Amino acid sequence: MSPTTGSTTWTFAQTAGEAAPGCGEAGTIAAPLPPEPRLDMPATEVGDVVAMAALLADRTRSGILRLLACGPCCVCEMAAALGERQNNVSMHLARLREAGLVRAVRHSGDARWMFYERDEERCAAAVAALAEVLR
């Protein structure tokens, strides 16, 4: 039995009477034709979302954001947890700070220590932007 939509169908003939993948019967497969091309569709701007996805595609940067979900951390803590060198973690933190996903705060008792925390509002905006593309 071949599914159809309206009266227009296209067929794909199987060779040597083989069953189509995922089908229990041999022969031809009928499926609806695709709609007419929509050449007047407006272009969507996804540059910022692509940049955010590229930023998060790095394992170290994603790991940093995941660690910071539990609260502020210093570079030495993140480096130990991620198995990375501190200078490498610092470089990735700089990229996350430029994107506004992470901010640096000095320790209140000892100003020599710099801690990093997530900017939850900006992270939520990034999640929403990515979700918009994927919906």
**What's 80's domain CATH number?**
1.10.10.10
Distances (CA, A) of 64 to 26, 29, 55, 115: 53, 49, 12, 12
Residue span of the structural domain in which 76 resides = 47-134
Tens digit of each residue's pLDDT, the chain (135 residues): 444 444 444 454 444 445 445 545 555 667 787 788 878 888 888 889 999 999 999 999 999 999 999 999 999 999 999 999 999 999 999 999 999 999 999 988 887 889 999 999 999 999 999 999 988
The verdict on 2 and 54 lying in the same domain is no
| ∠ Cα 72 63 85 (to 5°) | 85
The verdict on 26 and 68 lying in the same domain is no
Two tokens, residue 43: 């272009």
pTM: 0.68
